[in-house]
Chains A and B, each alone.
Chain A
């Protein structure tokens, strides 16, 4: 076993290929994952003088690699090479896997956690001491670092303009989305990695901040286990992956003197605890996984829309978030690059081809269902010895009702915006040309693999709260059973958010990391 423990000084990014077959380091804190939560936590700890190692499953890829080709980007930058989905394949799951994590492929939409969601967590999920005022300085700091300014009308491409126009005509209060960009050229390829470094992802902000403050990043290292000893987490064990085969070619161990911070994202973090059989005493690890299950509706216009170009998301509609006893949803757009669009469109062969040929004229509105705010239980994770993760996520009747309602709202909106015709993404699609067609939506079957569904927002599975029977970590991210283990990613959210989650993950992680720093003043001056 080669001891690679770093000397004091600035850190760096170590590619897995440079690691010997068996190696180990000893640091103060080991951070698992380099996305929104992991990068900001690592930066905060390193800046306070702690020795930090970040372990990242994905590769270190930069703007020079980002070629805006889907054939390269999905295998290179997404979990399971772009094939992640629920166990029955009913919901495709877009989730990043790279240095920068989800932020590297994020569409830049930036929202603070809605106050109604924070209240729900306080009232129903035992979260204490988190409200808008507590989060304010953390949101402000992150917004400054990521150059998140006010929404900008110049960001609105034709895809988003139709969403704005339809919602405005119906009185649904469209809003401009704030974006995490600096010098954005509005190319439209945020989801494939920004080739200009205009997107202020963790890859170009908090990861370099952490490294500058002394943190080391070890890439291509898939953490398999957290080692525990008498209520303490002491090490993480990772497989070093061969980049060409994605198969283990070595082992890398990080011994953590002070603590381990998990930030692999909802799905991977609960899966790691389950696989390690560590800190799972509550019985709730991996349960209540939420996805904002996302229902698209395609609208066709006579004029070109070219939704594959321009800022992917610049307009949102939150008119239907609060539907009382029914599950709410919000509306945004999806970019229409050909691969993502083609697999979302139903059918095969020439019938399918005739729809894809209209790509430049497609407007894609999506409805994101706000799961977990009612009685819908979300999904449940299971793991096996091979390292495989299975997410079982049944579409409950309440979610089905919301999906059908959302399809009706999107149809009204797109007709109001002037669409020639609409096509649902059912396997037996409904074509909608007039208002009177909309009522037929209710007759369509809506179930697993009968309609295209996807998720770009993964939340829950290790919820925070004060009751160790119903939550995994405290309201400051500390594990109830393992005193020196924290979780700082989207898995801590007790429900889905009702907005795009990335900014909320950063802010909660910063809040938690600031508390960790208070408990662990640096051992020695740098």
Chain B
């Protein structure tokens, strides 16, 4: 019998430290009173969540709403909620390695953090409770930050939410994409 099979027990602290957002996160995430200002849950998830908590799902849903077409787009454009962007990201990320899913959750908490918002933009309001304009401003701060970790965090959220939205057949016609062609399918 091989002895190589037992997985090395994951050293969680080390994992977090080495995560792409790990170090910065632990410094500011979660511990201080400002961070306790609660997340606004606008909508109950459409399906049972696979990875995220209801709060984390609400943060992701709020982020997704700003990354995809919104106020300026016509009524024909589906919202991020209508396409269940946050739910789809939840189900996708539940299948990644546990450390990757953990990092997404940390990133969402950091993004929501009132303390972090105060330090970054002078506003001590959780992301989910900000006005759309203030949410966009916070996204822009992350996008162009001199801190490389924040730019990474912005890209993680951008790619996950926009990938989910623009790969949805519901938006194909709106962006001038006729969709995949019909192909003849032979017998099995």
> Which residues of chain A are within 8 angstroms of B166 by Cβ–Cβ distance?
338-339, 341-343, 356
For A338, give its contact among B136, B143, B154, B177 (CB under 8 Å).
B177
Q: Chain A at the B interface: mostly helix, strand, loop or mixed?
A: loop
CB distance from A194 to the nearest CB of B (A): 10
> Is A386 within 8 A of B10, CB to CB?
yes
| Complex alpha-carbon distance, A483 and B147, angstroms | 47
Cβ A352 vs Cβ B167 within 8 A: no
Chain B residue at minimal CB-CB distance from A339? B167
B163 partner residues in chain A, CB cutoff 8 A: 70, 74, 82, 339, 342-343
Q: A81 an interface residue at 8 Å Cβ cutoff?
A: yes
B67:A349 contact, CB within 8 angstroms: yes
Interface string of B161-188 (1 = CB under 8 A from A): 0111111110110111100110101001
Residues of A within 8 A of B77 (CB): 353
B53 shortest CB reach to chain A, Å: 19
Contact across chains for B2 and A227 when beta carbons are under 8 A apart: yes
Residue of B with least CB distance to A337: B177
**Which B residues lie within 8 Å of A338 (CB)?**
166-167, 171-172, 175, 177
In the complex the two chains form, what is the Cα distance from A342 to B177 in whole Å?
Answer: 12
A residues near B144, Cβ cutoff 8 Å: 427-428
Decide if A225 is an interface residue (CB 8 Å cutoff). yes
Q: How large is the interface on A (under 10, 10 to 19, 20 to 34, 35 or more residues)?
A: 35 or more
* Nearest-neighbor residue (CB-CB) of B185 within chain A: A64
Q: Check A357/B176 contact, CB under 8 A, given A88-B152, A89-B20, A339-B163.
A: yes
Most buried by B among A185, A227, A343: A343
Give, as a whole number of angstroms, the nearest-CB distance from B75 to chain A: 14
Instruction: Say if the beta carbon of A377 comes within 8 Å of chain B.
Output: no
Q: Number of B interface residues, CB 8 Å?
A: 63
Are A448 and B151 touching (Cβ within 8 A)? yes
Are A196 and B183 in contact (CB-based, < 8 A)? yes
- Provided the pairs A64-B185, A386-B98, A386-B99 are in contact, do residues A359 and B4 lie with their beta carbons within 8 angstroms? no
Q: Are A71 and B10 in contact (CB under 8 A)?
A: no
Contact A352–B162 (Cβ < 8 Å): yes
CB distance from B13 to the nearest CB of A (A): 12
Contacts of B73 in A (CB 8 A): 350, 353
B67: chain A residues within 8 A (beta carbon): 348-349, 352
Q: Is B15 an interface residue (CB 8 A)?
A: yes
Given contacts A64-B185, A343-B162, contact A75 B92 (CB under 8 A): yes
A434 at the interface (CB under 8 A from B): no
Say yes or no for A67: interface residue by CB 8 A criterion.
yes
**Residue A388 contacts which of B97, B174, B180 (CB distance < 8 angstroms)?**
B97
Min distance, Cβ B142 to any Cβ of chain A, angstroms: 10
Q: Name the one of B15, B66, B94, B168 contacting A384, with C-beta atoms under 8 angstroms.
A: B15
Residues of A303-360 at the interface with B, using a CB-CB cut-off of 8 Å, are 308-309, 337-339, 341-343, 348-350, 352-353, 356-360
Cβ of B25 to closest chain A Cβ, rounded Å? 15
Does A342 lie within 8 Å of B162, measured CB to CB? yes
Which B residue's beta carbon lies closest to that of A73?
Answer: B167
**A385 part of interface (Cβ distance < 8 Å):** yes
A72 CB to closest chain B CB (Å) equals: 9
Q: Are A89 and B167 in contact (CB under 8 A)?
A: no
**In the complex, which residues of chain A have a beta carbon less than 8 angstroms from the beta carbon of B176?**
357-361
- Specify the chain B residue showing the minimal Cβ separation from A345: B162
Q: How far is the CA of A487 from the CA of B20 in the complex (A)?
A: 30
Asked whether A343 and B4 contact (CB < 8 A) given A338-B177, A386-B99, the answer is no
Chain A's nearest CB lies how many Å from the CB of B81?
Answer: 15
Instruction: Mark each residue of chain B from 4 to 19: 1 if its CB lies under 8 Å from any CB of chain A, else 0.
Output: 1101111100110010
Give the nearest-CB partner of B188 in chain A: A64
Q: Across the interface, do B18 and A187 meet the contact criterion of CB distance under 8 Å?
A: no
- CB–CB B188/A357 < 8 A: no
Minimum CB–CB distance from A34 to chain B (whole Å) comes to 21
Chosen A-B contacts, 18 in total, with CB atoms closer than 8 Å, are A69-B169, A69-B180, A70-B167, A75-B95, A83-B100, A90-B152, A187-B181, A196-B183, A237-B4, A338-B171, A349-B136, A350-B69, A359-B177, A361-B176, A385-B11, A387-B97, A447-B148, A449-B155
Which positions in A face B, CB cutoff 8 Å? 1, 64, 67-71, 74-75, 80-83, 87-90, 92, 185, 187, 189, 195-196, 224-225, 227, 235, 237, 245-247, 251, 253, 308-309, 337-339, 341-343, 348-350, 352-353, 356-361, 384-388, 390, 427-428, 447-450
Please list the 9 inter-chain residue pairs (A to B) with the smallest Cβ-Cβ separation, ordered nearest first.
Answer: A68-B180, A385-B8, A342-B166, A350-B72, A449-B151, A71-B167, A339-B167, A353-B69, A360-B176
| Apart from the given pairs A235-B2, A338-B167, A338-B177, 14 other A-B contacts in the complex at a CB distance below 8 Å | A71-B88, A83-B159, A87-B20, A88-B152, A89-B159, A225-B4, A309-B181, A342-B166, A349-B72, A349-B136, A357-B175, A385-B9, A386-B15, A448-B148
